Amino acid sequence: KNIVILISGRGSNMEAIVRAAQAERWPARIAAVISNRADAGGLEFAAAHGIATAVVSNKDYVSREAFDAALQTVIDGYAPDLVVLAGFMRILTPGFVDHYAGRMLNIHPSLLPLFPGLHTHAQALAAGVTEHGATVHFVTAELDHGPAVAQARVPVLPGDTPDTLSARVLVQEHTLYPQAVRDFVDGKLTMAQEHTQVLEH
């Protein structure tokens, strides 16, 4: 199976997925890592691991539709069975989302349906929750609302700041996301079914 990973920055989740795929010899290959920013740190890691990289800069396009169309063309050049959003910081048009329906996953750093959108760790602290975490979900047109496939939970500790809390969540993301992608590769995940597995930590 071919996997295409989209990033916008650091790419630590992409890195965790690449490492797991290699270490566990998945019957899949990371066909490409694509970024909307040329300065995304993760591109270097991907290139150093022999993975094709591409940049499709949203700044080169006048509209979201034009950007998404160009991005789709580049992605489809790699014939993906699965598109993995890993810190890809763009809102996607419904046409793009529909094109990858049932074969596009995202990770969001909250226990969805709590705290969709940006600044989730600050949102969680402001809300005073005692637990926080991350969710892997299929991507649908409504931002951060597609069917969840896996969650990891962490405690919120006294004195937490958005930085300390996000670091605790990120450690779990690096286990959760490779596992979910692996499950997809193994044919265990379909968008129609509800199969949220909760990893307790």
127 in Cβ contact with 156 (< 8 Å): no
- Check whether 90 is labelled as a binding-site residue: yes
In the block, tokens 């995940």 appear at 189
Residue 21 touches ligand GRF, criterion: CB under 6 A = no
The nearer residue to ligand GRF, 109 or 178, going by C-beta atoms, is: 109
Nearest to 31 by CA among 7, 3, 8: 3
Does 108 participate in catalysis according to the annotation? yes
The nearer residue to ligand GRF, 29 or 119, going by C-beta atoms, is: 119
Nearest to 152 by CA among 131, 138, 126, 125: 131
Selected catalytic residue, list 99, 108, 119, 145 = 108
Among positions 3, 5, 6, 9, the unique one binding ligand GRF when judged by CB under 6 A: 9
Please, where are the H alpha helices in 24-135?
A: 42-48, 64-76, 94-99, 120-127
Residue 133 touches ligand GRF, criterion: CB under 6 A = no
Q: Segment near ligand GRF (CB under 6 A), from 3-11, 19-27, 29-37, 149-157?
A: 3-11
* Tally of helices (H runs) and strands (E runs) in the chain: 6, 8
Q: Rounded distance, CA 176 to CA 32, Å?
A: 21
Residue 43 touches ligand GRF, criterion: CB under 6 A = no
Annotated catalytic residues are 108
Binding site for ligand GRF (CB under 6 A): 7, 9-13, 86-87, 107-109, 134, 170, 173
Specify binding-site residues.
11-13, 64, 89-92, 106
